[in-house]
Chains A and B, each alone.
Chain A
Amino acid sequence: MKTVLLRCKYIKLLIFLSAIFTSNYLSAESLAIFSANDDFKKLSAGKAKMLFKGKVKRLNNQKYSLVDWPAGSDIKIQFYNDLLEQSESQINATRAKLIFSGRGFPPKEMDKNNFESLQKFLLAHPNSIGYAPASLISDEFNLLFILQTESNDEK
C-alpha cells in the first residue's frame, strides 16, 4: 500500500514538474522552421513570413507544402505570434482567403500534438515544411530558419 501511495506522489510530482518545464520551455525556447528536403535554402525572415502567409508559389523552384501543429496547440499559437504577430483567428482568416479563392490547399494539420509524429510526417513527405522547438530538431533535417523570441535574437 505504501509503495502504491509513494508511486502516486511520485507521478504527481513528475506531472507537476513536466507542466512547469513545458510552460517555461514554450515561452523561452526558439521555434524553428525545418524540412527533410536538403535542396531548400535557408530562409530570410521576410521569406519565412511570405511562406506562411501563402504568398510563395514555389520554393527554390520546387513545389512544397506546409504542416501545422494541431489547432489551439501552444506551439502553433506561439509560432504565428512570433513569426507574424498574428493570432490563430487571423491566420484562419488569411487561410480562408486562400482556400475560398480556389488558390490551393491549406497546411496539413497534424492529428497529434507531439514532435515525433511531425518528424515522421516530414521524413515521409520531403517537400513538406514544418516548425518545432529548435532544440528538438536533429541533424537529419534541414534547418531553414530560427525565429526570434523575446528571450533570444533572430539568427
Chain B
Amino acid sequence: MKNNYYLVTIPFVFLISSNALATIELTDDLLFSAFGSTSITTTDNETPIYINREINDETCFDCDTTLGLQLDYQFLNNFTTSIQVVKRPQDNWSEPALEWLHLGYSFSQFDIKIGRLRTPTFLDSEYYYVGHAYTTARPSNEVYDSQLGVTSYDGLTLKWQGELTDDIALSVEPYASFFGEGKATKGPQKYIFDIHSMLGVKVELSSYDYRFYMNALRTEYDLELQLAVPRYTLHLKDQAINTYSFGGEYLWDQLTMRAEAYYAQDSHFDWYAQLSYRFNKLSPYANYGQMHSVGSGRENSSRAITAGLRYDFTPNISMNLEYQKAFTENYFPSTSGQFTETFAPGSDTDANIYTLMLNFIL
C-alpha cells in the first residue's frame, strides 16, 4: 500500500510550479483530467469513525486516499460521452470503481444522459471525490455520509436549464433508475441493495454568487444486510424510502456561507452549516453538523464541530489542516452515530480527529 501512496503524491511534484487548470486537451474534442487527495489523519478513539474512511487512533496515511481519472469526448456537435474511474478511499488500488460512464445528448435547453451517473443528491455530489473543489478536507460527514457512501446509479436523467433573468438560472433535473445494485460497508456491516426503482428530481436556482437546491428521491429496493457479529444475514424484501435534501451556498465578497439538510423518512435527519473566508491563498473555515435518528422512539444524536485552514499553493494544489470534535449521545449499544462500529462497554463516545490533507487537480 505504501508504494501505491506515491501514485498520488508524485503528481504533486509535477504540479508545484503550474498555475494552469491542467486538463489535457488531447484533441479539440477529447479531454483528459485527473484529481486526487491524500492525508495523514488520526483520532484519539480506537473505535473507527466515518464511513469508508475508518479513521481510528493509529496514524493513517491512506484513509482518505483518492485518485480519479476522467475522459470526456464530444462528437457530432450535440453528443458527449464521459468516463470517470476513481480509486475511492474504500477501494484497493487494484479495484477502482467505475463512477460514471454515460452518453449525453444536448438540444435547446435540455441535456439527456444515460448510463452510469452520479447521484445528484447534494450541493457537492457531482464532484464528491474532488477534494480540491470544496473548502473542507471532507464534505460534511453528517450529510454526505447519510446515504452510506453510495454515489452513483445506473439510469437516465433529463435536465432542463433556463434563465429567469440575466443573472438567475433555474434547472430542473428528473432522474430515474429501474435496476442496479448498490453496495455499502459500515464497519463490520455490509449492505447490498437490489434497486427495483429510483425516481428523483432536483431543482436548483443559481446565480454567480449563490445557488440553492431541493432534491426529492424515492427508492424501492431489496436489502441484504450482512452482520459480522453475530454472523447473520438479514434479507429485507420490498423496502421503500423517501428522502429529501435541500440547501444552499452564498458568496458575499470573500465570505462563503453554506448549509444543507437531509431527511430520510422515519429514519434520520441530518444537517450542517459552514462558514469560510478567503484571505488571498488562505481560507479559514468552521463547520457545525448534527445527525438525529427519528421515528425509532430513541433520541439518538451525533454532532461535530470542525475548524480548519485551507491553503492554495497553486490554483491546482491545496492543503487542509483540520481539527474535528465528534460527539455521540445515547447511541450505546446498538448504533454509533458517525462511528462505524458499536462502542465497546466503557469506551469513549467522543473523538478528536486531526487531518492534514493534500488535494490536486490535473
Interface check A88, CB cutoff 8 A? yes
Do residues B127 and A101 form an inter-chain contact, with CB atoms below 8 A? yes
**Bound: A104/B361 CA distance, A:** 16
**Bound: A85/B209 CA distance, A:** 11
Interface check B130, CB cutoff 8 A? yes
Q: Flag A78-117 by CB within 8 Å of B: 1 or 0 each.
A: 0000001101111111011101111111101100000000
Interface check B235, CB cutoff 8 A? no
* Chain B residues whose C-beta falls within 8 Å of the C-beta of A87 in the assembled complex: 278, 280-281, 312, 315
Q: Flag B166-207 by CB within 8 Å of A: 1 or 0 each.
A: 110100000000000000000000000000000000000011
Interface check A57, CB cutoff 8 A? yes
Interface check B132, CB cutoff 8 A? yes
**Bound: A57/B204 CA distance, A:** 14
Do residues B208 and A53 form an inter-chain contact, with CB atoms below 8 A? yes
Q: Which of A13-21, A30-38, A44-52, A131-139 contacts B (4 or more CB under 8 A)?
A: A44-52
**Bound: A100/B167 CA distance, A:** 23
Measured CB to CB, the closest approach of chain A to B137, in angstroms, equals 15
Measured CB to CB, the closest approach of chain B to A92, in angstroms, equals 4
**Bound: A96/B37 CA distance, A:** 14
* Chain B residues whose C-beta falls within 8 Å of the C-beta of A50 in the assembled complex: 163, 166-167, 169, 207-208
Q: Considering only CB atoms and an 8 Å cut-off, how many residues of chain B contact the other chain?
A: 49
> Among residues 248 to 298 in chain B, which have CB atoms less than 8 Å away from a CB atom of chain A?
253-254, 278, 280-281
Nearest A residue to B18, CB-CB: A71
Q: Which of B21, B104, B206, B278 contacts A55 (CB 8 A)?
A: B206
**Bound: A102/B81 CA distance, A:** 9
Do residues B133 and A93 form an inter-chain contact, with CB atoms below 8 A? yes
Q: A46-B166, A71-B20, A88-B19 are in contact. Are A102 and B102 (CB under 8 A)?
A: yes
> Among residues 76 to 132 in chain B, which have CB atoms less than 8 Å away from a CB atom of chain A?
77, 80, 82, 84, 100, 102, 104, 108-109, 113, 118, 126-127, 130, 132
Do residues A92 and B315 form an inter-chain contact, with CB atoms below 8 A? yes
Interface check A58, CB cutoff 8 A? yes
Q: A88-B19, A89-B312 are in contact. Are A100 and B166 (CB under 8 A)?
A: no
Interface check A56, CB cutoff 8 A? yes
Q: Flag B24-37 by CB within 8 Å of A: 1 or 0 each.
A: 01000001010100
Q: Which of B33, B80, B109, B278 contacts A90 (CB 8 A)?
A: B278
Do residues A96 and B133 form an inter-chain contact, with CB atoms below 8 A? yes
* Chain A residues whose C-beta falls within 8 Å of the C-beta of B80 in the assembled complex: 102, 104
* Chain A residues whose C-beta falls within 8 Å of the C-beta of B100 in the assembled complex: 102
> Among residues 20 to 74 in chain B, which have CB atoms less than 8 Å away from a CB atom of chain A?
20-21, 23, 25, 31, 33, 35, 68, 70, 72, 74
**Closest A-B pairs by Cβ, 10 of them:** A46-B167, A71-B20, A101-B126, A72-B19, A49-B208, A92-B315, A71-B19, A100-B127, A47-B166, A89-B312
Taking beta carbons and an 8 Å cutoff, which residues of B are in contact with A? 18-21, 23, 25, 31, 33, 35, 68, 70, 72, 74, 77, 80, 82, 84, 100, 102, 104, 108-109, 113, 118, 126-127, 130, 132-133, 161, 163, 165-167, 169, 206-208, 253-254, 278, 280-281, 312, 314-316, 318, 361
Taking beta carbons and an 8 Å cutoff, which residues of A are in contact with B? 44, 46-47, 49-50, 53, 55-58, 63, 70-72, 84-85, 87-93, 95-97, 99-106, 108-109
Q: List 30 A-B contacts (CB under 8 A).
A: A46-B165, A46-B166, A47-B167, A49-B167, A50-B167, A53-B208, A55-B207, A55-B208, A56-B169, A57-B109, A58-B109, A63-B77, A71-B20, A71-B315, A72-B20, A84-B208, A85-B253, A85-B254, A91-B315, A93-B132, A96-B21, A96-B133, A99-B31, A100-B33, A100-B70, A100-B130, A102-B113, A102-B118, A105-B31, A105-B74
